[in-house]
Structure 1
Amino acid sequence: MFQPMKPLKATATTSQPVLTIQQIETIFYKIQDIYEIHKEFYDNLCPKVQQWDSQVTMGHLFQKLASQLGVYKAFVDNYKVALETAEKCSQSNNQFQKISEELKVKGPKDSKDSHTSVTMEALLYKPIDRVTRSTLVLHDLLKHTPVDHPDYPLLQDALRISQNFLSSINEDIDPRRTAVTTPKGETRQLVKDGFLVEVSESSRKLRHVFLFTDVLLCAKLKKTSAGKHQQYDCKWYIPLADLVFPSPEESEASPQVHPFPDHELEDMKMKISALKSEIQKEKANKGQSRAIERLKKKMFENEFLLLLNSPTIPFRIHNRNGKSYLFLLSSDYERSEWREAIQKLQKKDLQAFVLSSVELQVLTGSCFKLRTVHNIPVTSNKDDDESPGLYGFLHVIVHSAKGFKQSANLYCTLEVDSFGYFVSKAKTRVFRDTTEPKWDEEFEIELEGSQSLRILCYEKCYDKTKVNKDNNEIVDKIMGKGQIQLDPQTVESKNWHTDVIEMNGIKVEFSMKFTSRDMSLKRTPSKKQTGVFGVKISVVTKRERSKVPYIVRQCIEEVEKRGIEEVGIYRISGVATDIQALKAVFDANNKDILLMLSDMDINAIAGTLKLYFRELPEPLLTDRLYPAFMEGIALSDPAAKENCMMHLLRSLPDPNLITFLFLLEHLKRVAEKEPINKMSLHNLATVFGPTLLRPSEVESKAHLTSAADIWSHDVMAQVQVLLYYLQHPPISFAELKRNTLYFSTDV
């Protein structure tokens, strides 16, 4: 701002002034002071950064900078007058108009000649923009400053001052904001915005939804040619005075939106993981940027499809004067956030109105500048240096909750983000009729690039009349919800880390620890010859004089008895403490096994079966044959593939083969109930493939380079191997062996 100011000042005292001194002082008001504040800040900060070590403190510099924001307030208060003065001078003075349309300003220091051009209006907005940007910088600094560092409280204080300052000036800063006023003459502000999937004419469309102080606007980004300024197109709007939420049981039976088949969603995830690995490889090998761009484009397409097709939770909005709109969200958390934000605004005295086409145009035009969510939430939009999130297993114990006003039936669910959206991963049991539930339940949650964990606390509703017509489920009431960042440093320590999450007056206590994927991939052979977990399958069947281990038979029998119609059987994780209890009982060959099985939650039994196969010292389909299975599944000629895959089964030791065929038939029976339990053959292959095939440590080292590669490339092949056998017509042991051995009936 000094650059245009100096020459203008110089001419002001000549016989041909472009502007008078007073006009210059109005337009460039307080610029000298703002400059000096920043110069002092910069001069103090620079040496600290150059002689950097983690003991250096500089929070006080940021705190001081924040406390001098009053100078900006003076600039902001004068901002409109400055703009008007510049505008008037432009109209009356040709020379100044030329200058103010293309001001040359210095670019970054490193580049010699990088002068960029800006307009006077854009230049005057920069100091205001600076406050917003400093606030974002403080956010980032806090994110990367250890909580116990002496700078932490100082940065927090600076952020608090900046945020308060911002919210105090937000209303009167930006003429672009105040151009839009509500029918009552107040400033209309943007409260919340985000990308949601709308169901319109029975198909899914991605929309950007904007919630203003008095209206909800649903827009989509217009397609524009490269370099053109992007714009929004308004699809519909509802004044908040006319907006109602139909209760789930009222919502009219809408055209049914078919959920996207799970196995296709899993396929997309696999593709995305594979593309991610390819991009990393290309980068490591200094590949061509065009090849990387092509892969990124492909990845974006898959991620976009996943984002569009994965949400299933209905969020319905109704206009009192007519139409209903339906959004699908991936999480109950988002749904209640939108609902709460709207209901909070509706507590004010709102008026109904109709926007003229010009008003609507101005409002939609402001969306682009005001939006807070800029990118579709897919990972290919992220910068490379952003945290890739955590891959592996998060162990969470939900201990207890306090702060309920009256007794209720309470439970919690856990969600983590994965591939750009949130998924529900676990659910505690319902603790009945209490104000202080004590669950003490442990869950193992698989993380796929996750950065946040959410906990939602619900009151269970047993009233059969409160059924949601959209998805035929009884509606439970959210009592509280909270979210925490999964910070690799805190989570990756070997020990449990206990924390409390506060949500509208309710406190939930939980603990968590994280096991990285490389660790969780290890098979550890057991030294013990007793028990069944971690012991070779041949040793167990010999000791039991059985064809199929007792644990496998009992778990499968119980699942077929009462879990075959359970939604997400084998996919939803059981309570870890229950699984450990069952493991101990089977290992001790306790006579109470059957009694305990009949009482146990069915997901824990399914989890015990998976754990048994996961802990085998070598995979059920053996280390020796693993390379051959990988080659066989890659064959393209169907006859050759059939030959090879059957020959491989024949080559398995008898106990492995008989157990595998026994499990195979069971999984096929589970998949027959897919309309009810939502578990397709593909879903089951995804759950069991790696468990039955993943090689032991030695084997996997020989095969692949890094844990990430093991994961993305090999997991796909492991899933395909199991899927091949699941889709194959029944395979009998006798036929395979073509000899006198017959498949005994007691198995």
Structure 2
Amino acid sequence: MEEEEEAIGYLDRVLEGEEDSEPGTPTSPVPGSLFLASEKGEQDAGKGLEMRKLVLSGFLASEEIYINQLEALLLPMKPLKATATTSQPVLTIQQIETIFYKIQDIYEIHKEFYDSLCPKVQHWDSSVTMGHLFQKLASQLGVYKAFVDNYKIALETAEKCSQSNNQFHKISEELKVKGPKDSKESHTSVTMEALLYKPIDRVMRSTLVLHDLLKHTPADHPDYPLLQDALRISQNFLSSINEDIDPRRTAVTTPKGEARQLVKDGFLVEVSEGSRKLRHVFLFTDVLLCAKLKKTGVGKHQQYDCKWYVPLADLVFPAPEETEPCAQVHPIPDHELEDMKMKISAIKSEVQKEKASKGQSRAIERLKKKMFENEFWLLLNSPTIPFRIHNRNGKSYLFLLSSDYERSEWREAIQKLQKKDLQAFVLSSVELQVLTGSCFKLRTVHNIPVTSNKDDDESPGLYGFLHVIVHSATGFKQSANLYCTLEVDSFGYFVSKAKTRVFRDTAEPQWNEEFEIELEGSQSLRILCYEKCYDKTKVNKDNNEIVDKIMGKGQIQLDPQAVQTKNWHMDVIEMNGIKVEFSMKFSSRDMSLKRTPSKKQTGVFGVKISVVTKRERSKVPYIVRQCIEEVEKRGIEEVGIYRISGVATDIQALKAVFDANNKDILVMLSDMDINAIAGTLKLYFRELPEPLLTDRLYPAFMEGIALSDPAAKENCMMHLLRSLPDPNLITFLFLLEHLKRVAEKEPVNKMSLHNLATVFGPTLLRPSEGESKGHPTLASDIWSHDVMAQVQVLLYYLQHPPISFAELKRNTLYFSTDV
């Protein structure tokens, strides 16, 4: 992986959001938790000790990788020196000394540090001290200063030698880095350019490690003053070389001779000539450049082709009412996007199986290639949020993004640069060529953001359900109509998953709303705070939606290391002076869908459907009939009905009222948010002691849906319905007809039959607990195999002509077998 640490493990994920914290301040120890947020006030010394060990273990693992990288860099140095004195040298002695300057010294320093630290971590107890090791490491940073001073010329020399000498080019393009001891991968191939950046990357990371260790070390611990001293030395060192540490700083000059820095880059989907194109967009200090990667022959350096550029002095964001409607790009139907996600998940499972059985590398590569193609298609066709920029000299450009957070980041980065005194200019063909040529070296985002580009040792993310309570927000300068949205990453891009209600005319909103968000390999949660706009003239003509103002945004990492926790974790996220208070907890897919039979015979939730219908003397439970009636009365045209999360506290209130058979049920239903009513219906089916389509018939449903012959499938699937107990069958048919009526409004509510099958399939149909225990698999395998089949079963019945209970029971022509 270029210019990044391959496997930093637990530690660096902890560090991601902590650079802005005040260094050297002792805080309470933090137990390992699901979320990377410190829980102030926790005083458990044992947990603090465990945290220090976790931090050190993660750092030790990354230190091993770093030493292996330095070894790989040093490996060609000896043979290159040996040939330097022959009649046919690959490089001269001077070139070798320039390229590999101080690498040997850095290697020896870190090898000694690793060998000293390793036994301390392996034999960990409360008496272990290691502050002196970090203090010694910090005192040797002068070697890094020499390396940094030489870094730019080392890179230039390596590049020149690579261009002029084919033998060195081959060596520098594929250096073999030894894998960690516990890794299945014996070696990985890395370029010399990437490895030469590792010491620079490492010195920055080591400073963050010290910060984190200090944070979890009590002030009276003997290590504390030593770590504090090491951190002070490291921070002073970093600030002294700050201008030299990044090779991107002065790589390009403007027409006026000033330094042109790369500020931001990333992959965006552009609408060009009526179709979607993936572009790599580069934001420099004075220009926005849109490029695409050229196709090049084997062995040739990759280059970008500039599609267009706009000087920031000429760039404007048109107001919503000023935009002209663009040529329509037909959105891909949701069910096609969901189908593709299922395919990707199935391929992931196949890759895991091949690796587990030590299958052929060719087969794995073929699967990975197919996965990349599918993920690329998803990345290209999922975004729908318009981001338009306009050149004052005439032309407009339209990007489609998947996340409002991302749109806001690009807009803010550009507007910040525009506050400077910028002048309009036109690049000559030579200047444009130089600028475009620099993009390949300067880019910070190297790979298209798809999961198939991840290294095997990177976290696969979380699969299951994230429960989030958005409590309140403070820090607004004046009263406004305020709400929040929640985004999580899924399949390489972020999507909006939940939205609070609008709190009107306040500077201190108190939402206290709970949401359940499905995670599909997610690693981050984003919270955005908006001011609601009710002015209908502020409509974005690219998507006919009113544009609300983002007041603040923030992001938190989700830690897959501790998914077993059942406790709520409260945290505060700061954004532009605004503080949003929220709580989170995670439940795996297995835990969230686990059915625990209720011993009670009163109420309706968790009680067998046959017991409820017998007690009520009804064919379909009252809760099912009333929720469906209310949805059809006022929610059938609601965008995302059954997909959008209802407020959890409202759902729990409805659950309590139905369980108590309160006489105020109908009044409460008529006043309740429609998404809460839809959520109550889903919760009822989820909490049945066994799924509606029964544990006993689950294997037969799986076999039936897999049949290829249409007639055989029809007979089998109808026979399975006839095999259901009457209360289950009648309720299922009642729900089926309702979902079909919801799907008839798809042009308005955006809920297709496939969307509805995706929402309800895993709730109505699920293997028994005993059966799922017998097949231990990865969370992603469970998600892809079981869910795909469950969705297909429900979709089969939704797409089938109307099914009558009486006809089913009367018809004896169906294929009959023991099930």
Task: State the TM bucket, normalised to the shorter chain.
Answer: 0.7 to 0.9
- Gapped regions of structure 2 (runs ≥ 5): 1-72
Whether contact under 8 Å (1:196, 1:209) holds in the other structure is: yes
- Report the CA distance between 1:40 and its aligned residue: 6.9
Deviates more, 1:475-484 or 1:161-170: 161-170
Whether contact under 8 Å (2:628, 2:738) holds in the other structure is: yes
- Gapped regions of structure 1 (runs ≥ 5): none
Deviates more, 1:29-38 or 1:366-375: 29-38
Whether contact under 8 Å (1:279, 1:295) holds in the other structure is: yes
| Whole-angstrom CA distance in 1 between matches of 2:792 and 2:641 | 20
Deviates more, 1:118-127 or 1:574-583: 118-127
| Whole-angstrom CA distance in 1 between matches of 2:660 and 2:453 | 52
Deviates more, 1:489-498 or 1:504-513: 489-498
Q: C-alpha deviations, 1:649-683, integer Å up to 9, x for none? A: 22222211111111111111110110111000000
- Report the CA distance between 1:521 and its aligned residue: 2.8
How has the CA–CA distance of structure 1 residues 533 and 228 changed in structure 2, closer, same or farther, with 3 Å as cutoff? same
How has the CA–CA distance of structure 1 residues 714 and 91 changed in structure 2, closer, same or farther, with 3 Å as cutoff? closer
Deviates more, 1:125-134 or 1:490-499: 125-134
Aligned partner of 1:651 in structure 2 is: 723
Whether contact under 8 Å (1:734, 1:743) holds in the other structure is: no
* Identity across matched positions, percent: 94
- Report the CA distance between 1:491 and its aligned residue: 5.5
Q: C-alpha deviations, 1:682-718, integer Å up to 9, x for none? A: 0001111111111332344467766654432121111
How has the CA–CA distance of structure 1 residues 517 and 128 changed in structure 2, closer, same or farther, with 3 Å as cutoff? closer
- Report the CA distance between 1:262 and its aligned residue: 0.7
How has the CA–CA distance of structure 1 residues 163 and 240 changed in structure 2, closer, same or farther, with 3 Å as cutoff? farther
Q: C-alpha deviations, 1:612-633, integer Å up to 9, x for none? A: 1111111111222222221221
| Whole-angstrom CA distance in 2 between matches of 1:534 and 1:324 | 57
Q: C-alpha deviations, 1:332-386, integer Å up to 9, x for none? A: 0000001111111111111111112221122112111111111111111111111
Q: C-alpha deviations, 1:103-149, integer Å up to 9, x for none? A: 99999999999999999999998976775686799899999999999
- Report the CA distance between 1:41 and its aligned residue: 5.0
How has the CA–CA distance of structure 1 residues 43 and 295 changed in structure 2, closer, same or farther, with 3 Å as cutoff? closer
Whether contact under 8 Å (2:716, 2:814) holds in the other structure is: no
Q: C-alpha deviations, 1:56-108, integer Å up to 9, x for none? A: 55466446545654565466557789999999999999999999999999999
**Larger RCO: Structure 1 or Structure 2 (Cα < 8 Å, ≥ 6 residues apart)?**
2
How has the CA–CA distance of structure 1 residues 575 and 103 changed in structure 2, closer, same or farther, with 3 Å as cutoff? closer
| Whole-angstrom CA distance in 2 between matches of 1:630 and 1:99 | 53
How has the CA–CA distance of structure 1 residues 518 and 163 changed in structure 2, closer, same or farther, with 3 Å as cutoff? farther
Q: Is the radius of gyration larger for structure 1 or structure 2?
A: 1
How has the CA–CA distance of structure 1 residues 564 and 155 changed in structure 2, closer, same or farther, with 3 Å as cutoff? farther
Calculate the aligned-residue CA RMSD, in Å.
5.9
Deviates more, 1:699-708 or 1:354-363: 699-708
Q: Pick one of 166, 169, 182 that aligns with 2:254.
A: 182
| Whole-angstrom CA distance in 1 between matches of 2:359 and 2:458 | 21
- Report the CA distance between 1:249 and its aligned residue: 2.1
Q: Pick one of 300, 306, 324 that aligns with 1:228.
A: 300
How has the CA–CA distance of structure 1 residues 650 and 82 changed in structure 2, closer, same or farther, with 3 Å as cutoff? closer
How has the CA–CA distance of structure 1 residues 571 and 53 changed in structure 2, closer, same or farther, with 3 Å as cutoff? same
TM-score (norm 1): 0.86
Q: Pick one of 404, 426, 431 that aligns with 2:498.
A: 426
| Whole-angstrom CA distance in 2 between matches of 1:588 and 1:742 | 42
Whether contact under 8 Å (1:268, 1:302) holds in the other structure is: yes
- Report the CA distance between 1:534 and its aligned residue: 1.1
Q: C-alpha deviations, 1:480-510, integer Å up to 9, x for none? A: 1000011134664211111111111111111
How has the CA–CA distance of structure 1 residues 663 and 200 changed in structure 2, closer, same or farther, with 3 Å as cutoff? same
Aligned partner of 2:38 in structure 1 is: none
| Whole-angstrom CA distance in 2 between matches of 1:150 and 1:284 | 46
Deviates more, 1:308-317 or 1:9-18: 9-18
How has the CA–CA distance of structure 1 residues 636 and 742 changed in structure 2, closer, same or farther, with 3 Å as cutoff? closer
| Whole-angstrom CA distance in 2 between matches of 1:308 and 1:579 | 36
How has the CA–CA distance of structure 1 residues 57 and 205 changed in structure 2, closer, same or farther, with 3 Å as cutoff? farther
- Report the CA distance between 1:734 and its aligned residue: 2.2
How has the CA–CA distance of structure 1 residues 696 and 188 changed in structure 2, closer, same or farther, with 3 Å as cutoff? same
Q: Report 1:548-587 matches (<5 A).
A: 548-587=620-659
- Report the CA distance between 1:745 and its aligned residue: 33
Q: Pick one of 38, 61, 73 that aligns with 2:110.
A: 38
Aligned partner of 2:31 in structure 1 is: none
| Whole-angstrom CA distance in 1 between matches of 2:791 and 2:176 | 60
SS in 1 for 2:239: helix
Q: C-alpha deviations, 1:446-505, integer Å up to 9, x for none? A: 111111111111111111111111111111111110000111346642111111111111
How has the CA–CA distance of structure 1 residues 570 and 29 changed in structure 2, closer, same or farther, with 3 Å as cutoff? closer
Deviates more, 1:69-78 or 1:89-98: 89-98
- Report the CA distance between 1:236 and its aligned residue: 1.1
- Report the CA distance between 1:570 and its aligned residue: 0.4
| Whole-angstrom CA distance in 2 between matches of 1:239 and 1:411 | 35
SS in 1 for 2:761: helix
Q: Pick one of 679, 684, 688 that aligns with 1:612.
A: 684
| Whole-angstrom CA distance in 1 between matches of 2:169 and 2:628 | 82
SS in 1 for 2:675: helix
- Report the CA distance between 1:164 and its aligned residue: 7.6
SS in 2 for 1:286: coil
| Whole-angstrom CA distance in 1 between matches of 2:316 and 2:191 | 45
Is 1:271–2:271 an aligned residue pair? no
| Whole-angstrom CA distance in 2 between matches of 1:206 and 1:458 | 29
How has the CA–CA distance of structure 1 residues 54 and 669 changed in structure 2, closer, same or farther, with 3 Å as cutoff? farther
| Whole-angstrom CA distance in 1 between matches of 2:713 and 2:553 | 51
Deviates more, 1:156-165 or 1:594-603: 156-165
- Report the CA distance between 1:306 and its aligned residue: 0.9
Whether contact under 8 Å (1:275, 1:299) holds in the other structure is: yes
- Report the CA distance between 1:411 and its aligned residue: 0.7
Deviates more, 1:528-537 or 1:488-497: 488-497
Deviates more, 1:334-343 or 1:159-168: 159-168
How has the CA–CA distance of structure 1 residues 269 and 23 changed in structure 2, closer, same or farther, with 3 Å as cutoff? closer
How has the CA–CA distance of structure 1 residues 520 and 128 changed in structure 2, closer, same or farther, with 3 Å as cutoff? closer
Whether contact under 8 Å (1:623, 1:699) holds in the other structure is: no
- Report the CA distance between 1:259 and its aligned residue: 1.6
Whether contact under 8 Å (2:593, 2:763) holds in the other structure is: no
How has the CA–CA distance of structure 1 residues 142 and 685 changed in structure 2, closer, same or farther, with 3 Å as cutoff? farther
SS in 2 for 1:463: coil
- Report the CA distance between 1:545 and its aligned residue: 1.1
How has the CA–CA distance of structure 1 residues 256 and 357 changed in structure 2, closer, same or farther, with 3 Å as cutoff? same
